[in-house]
Structure 1
């Protein structure tokens, strides 16, 4: 199912609801997805017997599950859209994490970023929404004479190459093995986190806008460190 600029495997939700005969579901989504979320609600309610409620609270990540609301409402299942689970996070009620995969121009954005990369060994990091394109992005780098390096995070990180706003262990695992980091994704929050974790240059490539940032990330890092 298409949800804005992302693809959602709705069958994961339908199968889970049917398997456990859940009657009530609380659906949680990031701010940018909320305006599209009712098509997911309609799909669930049409194809199962469950009643779906939508959380209006902000969602800042996989660890930000609306447990209080779920308990107050007495729902059977929480479905969080847009994130991979935190492997070591123990939750007191059933929670299904359904990642949203970006329909973007990851390979093209990396081609745009190549001229700003330094050295040949490139640490490649991204968020859950672009993780499915890592193998193709690695090929782009290889075809242009670079050696992509993908790190593995600690037990809070679900996939190799993935960074979380609260966890940069993937960066730390390869920082001494690379010349430069390439972040694939949107916004400045995550690439700034990468920059604050390492002394290596950081380049950010936006797969939607094809904007490439380098000096901007460095300048923001320096401003924060001066405070």
Structure 2
């Protein structure tokens, strides 16, 4: 039996703000609307497209490519005539250079998974402590509920603003943990509300002195992720050691709008050449081992795009895949003791008011933008 992917089914598990979307689209008077979804929501793309077309009379085209965040908006759809992009499931990144030149509507897509039970379970590890709260865009609207549940359990919650790569209080990305850094000195531990390890590992890696717990609303699991850092550091040590054997290095530049660090990458080429390595810039949209087979003669690659490529996918590549900071260790510019996580930082403090941001009743700590 084929699963149902209608709007009613979508709304069972997700709180998606479709009301008023047709009016926003009509106000912009586009010729062709592009729709972009993350995995898990893309299945419902045809039903959403049908609803928009029925309400507006404007044709829609669905992006079939993976969408990992607001850093990889499907702006390439302009080439087929799309003049308005509707991006679902992620919040805006105001720090992206030149993003205002594109017409993009962000549609929040929140999880309906209850958070209170797993948060109260996590509180057993956190009683009497001041705990910094972190989450993703999918659970950002529930932080007030999280605060209330923790306070009931004798835990003092703390929420911080990050920089302008994120807009929501307490929002954590796999490449940006500034919302955690803001409150680190005032916290005894961190509690991340969400699934997976990619996002919390960034904060745990970057702020090693504090324990970080994960409360997963989808599985009701509570776990601490700090133990994984030692395992990952062994992996990174091996990658650096192997990269030192390379004669030729590929410096990889991401072409996705929120991952482009061309100036940085060019500086890494110069650094390599000064230290006696041959280096080349290689631009890529989607990173994969297959895409790099034409460069199999290179002894190592430096990833300047999404950190997940380096940490999560490392074993998939034949040659060492390292970060820019790890390259500095390879060439002797940085010591192993000064190892740091490759964080994508914004350009200024996060806006405390943004039309797409979640508003909390709980106090939020942070520098004024």
TM-score > 0.5, shorter chain as reference:
yes
2:133, 2:159 within 8 Å by CA — same for their partners in 1? yes
- What SS is found at the alignment partner of 1:53? strand
Match of 1:129 in 2: 138
1:203 matches 2:236: no
Which of 28, 31, 44 is the equivalent residue of 1:36?
44
Deviation at 1:37, TM superposition (A): 1.8
| 1:137-194 deviation per Cα after TM superposition (whole angstroms, max 9, x unaligned) | 1011111111101011011110111111221100111111100100001111111112
Aligned length: 224
- What SS is found at the alignment partner of 2:192? strand
| 1:100-155 deviation per Cα after TM superposition (whole angstroms, max 9, x unaligned) | 01101111110121122375100001001111110111011111111101011011
2:16 & 2:23 partners in 1: Cα distance? 14
2:223 & 2:43 partners in 1: Cα distance? 28
2:50 & 2:72 partners in 1: Cα distance? 24
| Structure 2 spans left out of the alignment, 5+ residues | 1-6, 237-369
| 1:14-65 deviation per Cα after TM superposition (whole angstroms, max 9, x unaligned) | 1211112223111111112111222211110111111111111111111211
- What SS is found at the alignment partner of 1:96? strand
Which of 192, 199, 202 is the equivalent residue of 1:183?
192
The alignment's TM-score, normalised by the length of structure 2, stands at 0.58
1:117, 1:203 within 8 Å by CA — same for their partners in 2? no
Which of 14, 23, 35 is the equivalent residue of 2:31?
23
1:58 & 1:138 partners in 2: Cα distance? 33
Which is greater in Rg?
A: 2
Deviation at 1:201, TM superposition (A): 0.4
Which of 66, 71, 78 is the equivalent residue of 1:63?
71
1:183, 1:203 within 8 Å by CA — same for their partners in 2? yes
- What SS is found at the alignment partner of 1:27? strand
2:132, 2:158 within 8 Å by CA — same for their partners in 1? yes
- What SS is found at the alignment partner of 1:11? coil
Structure 1 residue runs of 4+, over 6 Å off? Answer: none
Which of 140, 154, 163 is the equivalent residue of 1:154?
163
- What SS is found at the alignment partner of 2:15? strand
2:64 & 2:94 partners in 1: Cα distance? 25
The alignment's TM-score, normalised by the length of structure 1, stands at 0.93
| Structure 1 spans left out of the alignment, 5+ residues | none
Q: Over aligned residues, Cα RMSD in angstroms?
A: 1.5
2:40 & 2:122 partners in 1: Cα distance? 25
